[in-house]
Amino acid sequence: MSGVGFTPEQLAAGEALFRRAWQFVKSVPRLEVLPPAERTEMCLAGRSNVGKSSLINRLVGRSLARTSNTPGRTQELNFYEVPGASLFLVDMPGYGFAEAPKANVEAWTSLVRDYLRGRRTLARVFLLLDVRRGLTPADLDLMGFLDTAAVSYQAVLTKVDKVKPTELTRVVAGVGKALETHPAAAQSVIATSAQSGAGVAELRAEIAALATACGTHLG
């Protein structure tokens, strides 16, 4: 259950894009070493331990992003690409609770916000939400920031294999209702599981369709 409808052609395009050999490009600890703003970029944001790296690995079909059960393991902007396409996927440091020194957390929080606010090639933020938590105050804070900065974002539920279908339906409806009052939010929710693969085809299709709409060369 994703709340998003895709044609067979769109699903096939997403599958084709992520069947290719995605690879790690670089980690960015500060804005000065960002790659040139010459490609369409889409990033995955969310609370610490929401499953960003695991979902990236499921999208590309192999262990590309480093995963950990320790909140706050990702502390830089990690860029991934597929050769021949003008597209970056970006894995962002998590927000909220993290097992890291306060100064480190403040530094990467500032990095994330400066990137989100000023990156002209950023086409969409995929806001990952643990289905068992729904929207938290930290998520709502980021949503308000993205609304103010006029940065397009879309809710992606994670770990949907951990709840019953009735609970998933309730959370999708609740998040969808909340998004109606946020001007920069896409009015659809994609429900995924890195474990079972649920919703992954839809997320791939969304990324491919959005890239095409942006005029991105996909090779």
What's the Cα-to-Cα distance from 219 to each of 15, 34, 54, 58, 135, rounded to whole Å? Answer: 14, 23, 26, 22, 37
Q: 24 near 78, Cβ under 8 Å?
A: yes
pLDDT over threshold 70, residue 145: yes
Q: Give the residue-averaged pLDDT of 181-193.
A: 96
Per-domain residue ranges for the chain?
8-213
Beginning with the edge strand found earlier in the chain, give each strand of the sheet holding 122-130 in spatial order.
23-28, 77-81, 87-91, 40-46, 122-130, 153-158, 185-191
- Give 67-84 pLDDT, tens digit per residue: 654 444 557 899 999 989
For residue 96, the number of C-alpha atoms closer than 13 Å in the C-beta half-sphere is 21
Top-tier CATH class for 8-213: alpha beta
The pLDDT-based confidence of 100 (bands split at 50, 70, 90) is: low
Q: How far apart are CA 37 and CA 138, in angstroms?
A: 28
The pLDDT-based confidence of 50 (bands split at 50, 70, 90) is: very high
The pLDDT-based confidence of 48 (bands split at 50, 70, 90) is: confident
> Residue 123: what pLDDT?
97
